[in-house]
Amino acid sequence: MTQPHAFASIEEAVRTIAEGKPVVVVDDESRENEGDIVMAADKVTPEVVAFIANKARGLLCVPMEGDRLDELDLPQMVQHNTEQHRTAFTVSVDYRYGTTTGISASDRAKTIRALTGDGGNRDVRPGDFARPGHIFPLRAREGGVLTRAGHTEAAVDLARMAGCCPAGAICEIVNDDGTMMRLPDLIPFAAEHGLHLISIADLIAYRRRTEKLVDCIETAPFETRYGTLEAHIYRSLVDDTEHLALVKGDLKQAEDGVLVRVHAASAIEDVFGSMRGSGRSLVELAIERIAAEDHGVLLYLRGTEGWGLGLGRRRIYDQDNNSDQNDLLHGSDWRQYGTGAQILYDLGLRDIRILTNNPARYRAIEGYGLTISGKEAFSEAQEAEATGAGAD
């Protein structure tokens, strides 16, 4: 997708962040399509906090890397996160020294800079913060926007790329009437205040061009009752989790619209089934569909326990509905699909058809170099047969 002329380049945004100035970052229109003011946390000043409070009006948060949050003993705010987009809030804090109530622009700027140790120039310890407070740290996912296409990860990525401490200060931009400001209003807002405007999709595309977070470690034939597929084993360079791609045909010879099924691993459903029938699993149904194509891919992503699909934290599903909890493209999980998208791109795919019955929303997918040209559905008979959480 070609961005409007109002969008700055990622290189321009990184230079601006390095200079200690904020930018506006907008996410995908199929997610929130909201904009945040974003800057490097170690360069925050009281003047910037006052500007954010007066012009943005949202909640001022500080995205940070997990290791730093652990050093400061800042645990997650809640053990079971039910927020729509799984934004990883920690306990809120105020810096205890040289501050008063914690809410003034000066106090909040001191707290934000203290979280970074003033860019690592002084020793700040867990006991230096009062809890709760007026600043809300956020735990960014390892891998940044290539793993999760959110403002949290974008802020940490931009700060790191600018040579700053890998932590950001972000705040949602709200209209005068209290509604969230969307892209049509963000463009004149950025222009009015002299701020560069960039998109998370462009940031993903930039990082994808310059970095790689998956590596194919092995390829071998894979025999199935529906014919021979080629197994590609990928390892995440972020957390060493291994994922499987079963490929039908030579993808280099494939035309546009290759059929793809993205399946989030679940030990209970994939190994044991739902115990309510003798039908086939969603994985087998997908393999059958893909094997019937000239070209196709079943992408089996492991390490999804954090999404409520694994053995330890499996959600109990309603067996009478046909929601596909194994479809990683379902609902808000798409934005955590960066690893899978990189695998598909590495396999040579650019234009794909998704095998799903869900009206899924796709998060910043064009930033990964992929285009969804269509969706294929499981048949009603396959839905009835499936032994997982329903065939989509």
Give dist(CA 264, CA 329) in Å, integer: 9
Query: Phi, psi (5° rounding) for residue 69?
Result: -65, -40
Give dist(CA 340, CA 39) in Å, integer: 29
Active-site residue, 182 included? no
- Angle value at C-alpha 385, between 343 and 299, nearest 5 degrees: 5
Query: Phi, psi (5° rounding) for residue 26?
Result: -110, 145
Active-site residue, 320 included? no
Question: CB count, 10 Å around CB of 253?
Answer: 9
Q: Are 298 and 290 in contact (CB under 8 A)?
A: yes
DSSP H or E run through 107: helix 105-115
Structure tokens at 8: 């700055």
Among 280, 333, 353, 392, the one annotated catalytic? 333
**For the packed helices 200-210 and 10-18, what is the interaxial angle rounded to 10 degrees?**
100
Residue owning tokens 């990184």: 14
Residues 6+ apart with CB under 8 A from 67: none
Among 335, 353, 363, 392, the one annotated catalytic? 335
4 burial level (CB within 10 Å; 0-12, 13-18, 19+): exposed
Give dist(CA 343, CA 244) in Å, integer: 9
Would you please indicate which residues are annotated as catalytic (active-site) residues? 333, 335
